[in-house]
Amino acid sequence: MYQTHSQREFAIEFQPQIHILRPSIHSRRANIVVKFQDLYGFTVEGNVDDVNILNEVREKVRQQGRVWWALEASKGANWYLQPQVSSLTEGIALKSSLKLSNLTNAITLKRLIRKGIPPVLRPKVWFSLSGAAKKKSTVPESYYSDLIKAVEGKVTAATKQIDHPDVLDLLAMCSAGIPDFFRKDRSRYIVAEFLPCSSKSNSLSLFASLMSLVEDMLFCCLNTLNGGKKLLYCFPIDLPRTFPGHPWLDTPEGHAALRRVLVGYSFRDSDVGYCQGLNYVAALLLLVMKTEEDAFWMLAVLLENVLVSDCYTNNLSGCHVEQRVFQDLLVKKCPRIATHLEELEFDVSLVATEWFLCLFSKSLPSETTLRVWDVLFYEGAKVLFHVALAIFKMKEEELLQTHHVGDVINILQKTTHHLFDPDELLTVAFDKIGSMTTNTISKERKKQEPAVMAELDQRLRRLNSIKMDDEK
């Protein structure tokens, strides 16, 4: 049983700095590409400026670590666990009767978390503030080990779907139409590049469906609808595609640990089962947390308490709703961008779906992703909207100059892949986007839910109609 960091013990706090390159003007202009390893062992390609930015981030991490250690020394090891300090609330819910010291702790904690939790403290702080520790305390101590033993080698309807997806059902469902956000970004990107001058959104949708079908049949990795049940990804196929090349995750030991967490949770919550995106989320949790069991409980609290419900369930209706809410927020917060994208007939779900399902783990560099998660586990799912809007906002002028869908995707992908400085992103997310309360977002979700459910119902009717025709 995987219990420690093993090969992934990267000694982050003591890892030597990458040699700071001092390129000449000519080398900058040449945009020399170099490979380097980030804080969590991922090999990253970037230019020499990216290397220097990463070095600056490492130094900021060390400085922030000294701040946290100083607070632990003065306030106590668990100073952030005051009874009155509650995570996942709108800011911090503090009553007027609370002591000044508690108010000070709450304000200090929120500010510190937005500046980043030191990697060495992340496991403890996340586990405590997210509610994972409390959730774990409600079950017997042997819950996880008993669960893993119980599911080992067991064949159920869920495992059959995981290991043997039904290609014929997949073909039928594609005939009924693939909802936009089920399509993988790579297929969409290819289509957008081949149809740069198309003004027909239905043409883009048609070709995207065809491209998606080819890729999905090859990799058996499309979550979609099947008369009320979900076609699940094939774990053995999906695991090697989760952060390939990573020195621990892309090993038999890493694959086994990731599979145990994912299969274990699929048995804990059969409504969720397994959905693409969860493999990336769980993999990153494994890298951060000290034990496989803690990664499991972090995944549990994330899906059951932090994120909106139904994001990963049968019809992924929650993800549909989030995309519509994001579209509305883009109109309100970035009206110039929203207007321009509408003129291009660009659907934000082409990029935002992966952001929300994978929680930016496939899009942003690892330390930037984890800085987003620092705030996510404390302030809740509204953080995802802040960050997604910030990515658009940071490239507003460039996006306004685009003429094709492919250009928009190019800019956004290049931007996210090179956001090595988390402070740059989070400063825009919280200082330039403006306030968004959880209550406001909840109201937006309720407003969008009827339309989403009607769309899914209509699609299910089409699917049933196709099945009836085939039976005749």
Question: Is the pLDDT assigned to residue 203 strictly greater than 60?
Answer: no
pLDDT in tens, 272-296: 877 778 889 999 999 999 899 999 9
**Can you spell out the DSSP letters for 26-69?**
HHHHHT-EEEEE-TTS-EEEEEHHHHHHHHHHHHHHHHHHHHHH
Taking residues 318-325, what's their average pLDDT?
93
Indicate the pTM of the whole model: 0.79
Q: Tell me if 276 sits within 8 A of 357, measured CB to CB.
A: yes
Question: Is the pLDDT assigned to residue 52 strictly greater than 90?
Answer: no
- Work out the pLDDT band at 237, boundaries 50, 70, 90: low
pLDDT on residue 93: 46
Taking residues 348-370, what's their average pLDDT?
95
pLDDT in tens, 303-321: 999 998 888 887 788 999 9
Answer with the residue of higher pLDDT: 388 or 226.
388
Question: Is the pLDDT assigned to residue 155 strictly greater than 80?
Answer: no
- Work out the pLDDT band at 472, boundaries 50, 70, 90: low
**What does the alpha-carbon distance between residue 126 and residue 112 come to, in Å, rounded to a whole number?**
13
- Work out the pLDDT band at 99, boundaries 50, 70, 90: low
Question: Is the pLDDT assigned to residue 424 strictly greater than 60?
Answer: yes
pLDDT in tens, 116-135: 999 999 999 999 999 999 99
Answer with the residue of higher pLDDT: 363 or 195.
363
Q: Tell me if 28 sits within 8 A of 49, measured CB to CB.
A: yes
- Work out the pLDDT band at 457, boundaries 50, 70, 90: confident
The length of the chain, given as a count of residues: 472
